[in-house]
Structure formats: C-alpha cells, structure tokens
Structure 1
Amino acid sequence: MNSVSKSLWPLLLGISLLFTTFGLLKAAPSAQQWQSLNHSLVEEHILPRYRMLQNSSARLAASTQALCLQPELRQLEQVQSDFHQTMDAWQAVQHIQFGPIETLMRNFSMQFWPDRKNLIGKQLSQLLQAQDPHTLSVGYLYKASIGVKGLPALERLLFSGTLADVENNSYRCQLSQTIAAYIAENSLATLTEWSDDYSHSIARAGSNESDYESHQEAAVDMMKSLVEPIEAIRDQKILRPLNDGGQVRPRRTESWRSQRSLRNIQLNIASLKDLYSGTTNSLDSLLREQGRAPQADNISILFNSIEAQLTTVQAPLVDRLSQAETVKQLLQISNALQQLDRELSTEMITLDIQLGFNSRDGD
C-alpha cells in the first residue's frame, strides 16, 4: 500500500462507517418490531377503549329505559350524565376507523357528523310527527337512515327538550330508549368482534389466519388512525365553525347542544397522544430505536403544547366562538395541528409506511 493510500485509508474508513451508520438509522423497522407495536396498541389502547364504550353505552341504555318508566328530573339528569360518559368513550376511540367499526357502517351509525344538510333534524322530525310504534325497535334502526340512530340524534332528543317533553310524549322517550339500546348493541358487537377475531387477525399477520399479509401492513391501519384524525380535527372541528375568516358558525361545532365541543377535541388529542406514546411498545419508542429521537421529541412537544393551549380556551364553544380571543386561540391550535400532521407524516416516510388514500377525504 503506497503512502497516498495509507493517508486516505482513515478517511475512507470513516466515510464507510458513516454510511453504514446512516443506513442502520434509516433502515425500516423489523417485522418483530411492528408485531410488538401492533400488539401493544391493540391490548393497551384499542380494546380498553372499546370496553369503556361498551360499559358506558350499556349504562346509558339502562338509564334511558328507567327514565321512560319513571320520568323525573333526577332521572333525566342521570341520562344526560350517562350520555356524556358514552360520548367521552366514543371520542376516545373515534380515531379507530378500521376493523369491526366499519361493519354495517357502525362508525357512521354511531355518529353521523358533520351533518351538512340537517339530515338528522329532518328525519327525526318525521319520526316524531308520525309516532309509528313500528319504529320503536332496535331491529327497525338497523334498516333506518344513519341520521336517526346515533349519538347526535340522541343528543337532540335529550338536550333540546325539557322534562315535560319526556312526561307528555311517551314516543319521544321511547325513541330515545331505542336509540340508546341500538348504540349499546353496536358497541358490544364491535368489542366482541375485536376481542374474538380481529385482534387475532392482527396478531397472526402474514399467516393464513389473517387478512393482513404482514405485520407492517397491519401497522398501516394503526398509523392511519394516528395521522388522519389530526386533519379531521383541524378541518371539521375547528376551521369549519370558524368559516374561513367569515362570520363564525357556532352551530357547526360538534355536539354543541350538549355544550361539549371543546371537550371532544381535548379527548381526541389526549387519545392520539396515547396512541403515539402511551403504550409499552409505542411509535415514540420505535422512532427512538430507529435513531429518530429528536423527531420523537418534537412530536411529543407538539402534543403537549396543543393540550396546554386547549386548556386556555373557554367553553362552551357555541357561546365563546363569537369572541375574538377564542378565534385567535383556535387558529393557533389549528396551526399547531398542521405542524403535528407534517411531523408525523414525515416520520411515516422514514418508517416506510405508505398511508395512501385518506379515508376521511370528502367528509
């Protein structure tokens, strides 16, 4: 080896090591890493949330039935409280838009929103006017429009009337009872199918026992559940009521009748944060294993910042949206969500996750 070669050898070795290290940092996660992540997300994030939804909706169905048997103010307040608990549970799992929740369009049956053409109002009015006893069965709701059988329809019945409406209109109360029973039945079916079959399909990805060809393919649905809702929250729950700088539209906010629009967003962000970093094997830890610690830190900082900003917004939004300070705060949160969306989307590329078509486009 001549002197020139000897002098270049340390440099060439350094370059070689640099590229080797860079390649290791950029390598896609292994099948085992994806399998571990999927297992944690199913067992620690998804299933507990569906159990909460099933439990809370069962209580709502029972208290609504009790209200119709004994229409008292105390019982109406209990039903409204149980509604809030059920909506809390739904908002905490609303981002999971794959698997059994898609069966029979359960996701839209649970919550048809945004309702741009007031489909719920029109169809509920028709039912209340006709008062057909044949419509007071869960079986009927399976065939009925999505506008009259979910949480938004129940919200109208429970929060737009008075105790006198319950006392004097047995059909209205019985319809509420039927819708609550339908929600509980669908919640139980979704949990059962996740527990019995779908979780097994994810665990056995790549085998003949699964619909997924690989653990990475199963992880795509998980990652879509993290990334796609951020845009939906920003566009539908924040910017749409702000009306693009025009006159604000408070009644475009989600769940405005029960005055929980802001709470919904807070629950959504908390759930996405948990999906990102709250499980034993998480996306946050996976990014760090792949040499992306600074990027993981940035994402965590954004989640924490958005949560902190949301605590400064005063509720209910349906009343506060007309105030300039509230609009300013929501626009700042919107910008932070956009940045979070960009950060997460970039990391999907580094992990070789192809999100593909956004299932929420066109909503």
Structure 2
Amino acid sequence: MMMTSFVRITLKSLAASVVLFAGSGAYAGPQADAVVRVVTQHAVPAVLNFSTHINALEDSAKSDCTAGALVPAYNAGFDAWMGLQHLNIGPVEADARGLTIAFWPDKKGMIPKTLSALIADQDAAVSNADEFAHVSIAARGLFALEYMLFDDSFNAYDQGSYSCELVQAITHDLAQTADHIAGEWTREDGFAATLTTAGAVDNQRYLSETEAAQALYTMLLTGLENSAEQRIGRPLGSFEKPRPKRAEAYRSGRSARNVMLSVQAAREFVVAMAPEVPTHTLEILDEVLAKLQDLDDPTFASVDDPMGRLKIEIIAQRIEAATESIANDIGAPLGISAGFNASDGD
C-alpha cells in the first residue's frame, strides 16, 4: 500500500474513533480529558510520523542501499522513533515490537555476532519477509541497521551484495512493524479507541478512566527515567570507570540527540496531559534541553573528563527533577500515580 494512502486511511479511522468516543459518554472527567488529549495530540501523531519516516527509509534502501546514501533517511527514522519510543504500551509493547525496533542495551554484544553470522552464512532469510521476521531481534531494527551503516566492520558493501540485501530486509521489516503499530493504534476499534473509552461497558482492557490515565502517566515518567538512568547513566558508569562506549547509538553520533528528542517528546506529552499549564515542569524540561544544546558532545565522550562529566550528571539530575515536578503538575491534580511498567529495570 502506498504510504499516502495508508496515512489517509489511518487518519480517517482516527476521526471515526474520535466521534465514537466523543459520543459514548464513557469519559466525563479530567482524567479522561487528559487521556483524549494525549492520544489525539501526542500519541497518534507520533505513531503516524514514525510509520511515514520508516517507510521512507525502506524506499531509500530500495533505491540505494549503500551506507552513505542511507544515513539521512536512517536519522530521520530514528528521530521519529524517539518521538514514540516512550509509549511502550499496546501495539508497541505487543509481540516485543519495541525491543525489535530498538534492541538496546545490547549488553552481550549480540548484534554484531548475529549480523556476522547471517553474512557469513549468506542466510536466505533476507529474501523472505516472513522468514526474516523470525530471525533474532539482534539482527533487526534500528541498532542492527546502525552497525550496517556506521561500523567499519560492516559498512563497506556495494549495491547488489548480500549485505545490501540484508539492509533492505531490515528496513522492510521495520516498515512492516511500523505499519502494524500505526494500524493497531488508529483503526476504528484500535488502541486509541481502547484508551479513550476506558470505563465503557464493553472495554475489557481499561475498566476505568483512572486505569487509562495511569497507564499513560506511567509511560511518561518511565520514558524520562530511562533517559536519565540508561541513556545517560550507562555511559557515565562510575567516576573511576566511565563507560562512553555504552552510550546509546554512539556509532551514529546520536547519543545526546536521542536524549534531547526523548525530552522533547516528554515535554509534548506533559503539555497534552496536564490539566493546567505545567509551568514548573516546563521550566525544568526547557532547562534540560538548553543544557543539551550547549553540551556540544554528541556521544557523551566527555564522561572521561571531570568537567564534561559534571555537565552530563547535571542533565541527568534535572531530568530526575522533572519527574518529581510532573507528580505535582499532573499526578496530584489528576489523582494518579505511576504503576508497574514492563521495561522497569532494563
């Protein structure tokens, strides 16, 4: 299906869903209003944006699969993922799609091992989308593609080579996953409708408005915590033993950018969910974004330097401060708190 047709269909489905839950009477309070705002102003646009850019990445790979040619489309696709990755719920969580899209951290170095094995064996799975969908997640998604495009052990391949076919298989697999997520979010009976009709008699997933609001609130806080504890915490390591090569997407120079985009997505989420203007939280998040902009350290390599390390630590601390402020600006007025999230402790 052409991407423009897909977006037209999904937007039409979303509009139908909005009409459905606007007239259902199932939601009638600040919690439900917050859920509707997050779904329509933040989540669904992020889902569709991701699908659009990942399909563009697949199209680029079909045209020219070589590493240098694919970098712009790759970065655009990764940017779009950072607008969605915190919503590890519903269609993103199903079938471990979030992990398939972004297998990180790769603590055991499975990605290069798995890619090397596929290339050495000239595995025929690259020629069959159904078969490729069942290969190890270490050979799928944005981080496998990062190795293929940015790592000198993998990126010196030509058009028509096996590695070229592998890159095309990865991008096609990503596009299929993105389209599944978008379709499941936006169809008339999809996840957007499930969230926004929480408490309705026929809604078996969310039995109350509070459950739906709490699920989204948990995603918001968890996304920020992951940026502080994982995206920044992993390369920080300890003062005695910093770990710059543990930074997310350092091969593609995206480590700090990923934190910035995740914070920008959280800011958008906060604006949509807060019942009143969340002035204090926005001040903190804007401070974080300004510090990241001024850092001039795209891969957090300066964790080795005491002054550079201090700047990065302060950013993590301010992100953590934002989560505390969110509890006051959103949690308390809506009467909700964070629940369990499957990605906790990763």
CA shift for structure 1 position 354 = 3.3
Q: Does 1:152 align with 2:107?
A: no
Does residue 64 of structure 1 match 2:61? yes
Q: Where does the alignment leave 5 or more consecutive residues of structure 1 unmatched?
A: 1-29
Q: Deviations over 1:218-266 (max 9, x none)?
A: 1111111211112111111112111121222221011111111111000
SS in 1 for 2:49: helix
Matched, 1:257 2:255: no
SS at 1:213's partner residue? coil
Change (3 A) 1:124 1:206: same
Partner of 2:198: 205
The size of the alignment, in residue pairs, is: 316
Q: CA contact under 8 A between 2:140 and 2:170: conserved in structure 1? A: yes
Query: Of 128, 140, 153, which aligns to 1:137?
Result: 128
Partner of 1:300: 282
Equivalent residue for 1:356? 339
Structure with bigger gyration radius: 1
- Partner Cα separation in structure 1 for residue 215 and residue 201 of structure 2: 19
Counterpart residue number, 2:236: 242
TM-score by length of 2: 0.86
2:50 maps to which of 50, 53, 56: 53
- Larger helix proportion, structure 1 or 2? 1
Q: 2:304 aligns with which of 297, 305, 322?
A: 322
**Percent of residue pairs identical:** 26
Distance in 1 between residues matched to 2:182 and 2:216, nearest whole Å: 17
Contact between 1:248 and 1:321, CA under 8 Å: does it hold in 2?
Answer: yes
Q: Give, in angstroms, the shift of residue 188 of structure 1.
A: 0.7
Alignment of 1:217 onto 2:217: no
2:260 pairs, out of 252, 257, 266, with: 266
Is this contact kept in 2: 1:109–1:150, CA < 8 A? yes
Match of 1:36 in 2: 33
Q: 1:332 aligns with which of 286, 307, 314?
A: 314
3-state SS in 1 of match to 2:64: helix
Q: Does 1:312 align with 2:305?
A: no
Contact residue 165 and residue 172 of structure 1 kept, 8 A: no
Q: Tell me, yes or no, if structure 1 residue 82 matches structure 2 residue 73.
A: yes
Runs of 4+ in 1 over 6 A off after TM superposition: none
CA distance in 1, matches of 2:71, 2:165: 15
C-alpha distance in 2 between matches for 1:340 and 1:164: 39
- Match among 175, 195, 203 for residue 184 of structure 1: 175
Give, as a single letter, the amino acid of the residue that structure 1 aligns with 2:200.
Answer: S
Report the Cα distance in structure 1 between the residues aligned to 2:154 and 2:221, rounded to whole angstroms.
Answer: 42
Aligned to 1:10: none
Judging changes above 3 Å, is the alpha-carbon distance between structure 1 residues 360 and 334 closer, same or farther for their aligned structure 2 residues? same
Contact 2:145 2:170 in 1 (8 A): yes
C-alpha distance in 2 between matches for 1:103 and 1:356: 18
The structural deviation recorded for 1:50 is: 1.0
Change (3 A) 1:246 1:140: farther
Query: Does the 8 Å CA contact 1:114/1:254 hold for their aligned counterparts?
Result: yes
Structure 2: how far apart are the matches of 1:355 and 1:51?
26
2:113 match: secondary structure: helix
Quote the RMSD (CA, aligned, Å).
2.1
2 CA distance for matches of 1:78 and 1:164?
Answer: 11
Q: Is 2:239 aligned against 1:276?
A: no
Conservation of the 8 A alpha-carbon contact between 2:30 and 2:334: no
Measure the CA separation in 2 of the matches of 1:163 and 1:265: 26
Equivalent residue of 1:244, what SS?
coil
Q: Please give the alpha-carbon distance, in whole angstroms, between the structure 1 residues aligned to 2:90 and 2:54.
A: 20
Q: Which sections of structure 2, spanning at least 5 residues, go unmatched? A: 1-26
Equivalent-residue separation in structure 2 for 1:206 and 1:256 (angstroms): 44
In the alignment, the residues of structure 1 paired with residue 323 and residue 341 of structure 2 have an alpha-carbon distance, to the nearest angstrom, of: 13
**Given the superposition, is the C-alpha separation of residues 39 and 164 from structure 1 closer, same or farther in structure 2, using an over 3 Å criterion?**
closer
Q: Distance in 2 between matches of 1:34 and 1:78?
A: 46
